[in-house]
Structure 1
Amino acid sequence: MRLDKFLQLTGLVRRRTIAKQLCDAGKIKVNDKVAKPSTEVCAGDLIEGETGWERWQVKVLQLPKGSVPAHLRSEYVEFLMRQRIYLWDDE
Structure 2
Amino acid sequence: MRIDKYLWSVRYYKTRSKATDAAKKGRFRVNGDIVKPARDVFPGDMISLRKDQIDYKVEVLDLPASRVGAKLVNLYRVDRTPQENFDAKKMIELNQDYYRRKGEGRPTKKDRRDLDDVLDQTEEID
Query: Into which bin does the TM-score normalised by the smaller protein fall?
Result: 0.7 to 0.9
Tell me the distance in 2 between the aligned counterparts of 1:51 and 1:14: 12
Give the fraction of aligned pairs with identical amino acids, expressed as a percent.
28
1:13 is matched with which residue? Answer: 13
Matches within 5 A, 1:7-86: 7-81=7-81, 83-84=85-86, 85=89, 86=92
Q: Which moved further from structure 2: 46-55 or 56-65?
A: 46-55
Higher relative contact order (CA 8 A, sep 6+): 1
**Structure with greater Cα Rg:** 2
Deviation by residue 1:54-76 (Cα, 9 ceiling, x = unmatched): 32100000000111111111100
Calculate the aligned-residue CA RMSD, in Å: 1.9
Where is the helix percentage greater, Structure 1 or Structure 2? 2
Deviation by residue 1:18-74 (Cα, 9 ceiling, x = unmatched): 111111111111110011000001000000111123321000000001111111111
TM-score, scaled relative to structure 2: 0.65
Residue ranges of structure 2 left out of the alignment (5+ in a row)? 99-126
TM-score, scaled relative to structure 1: 0.88
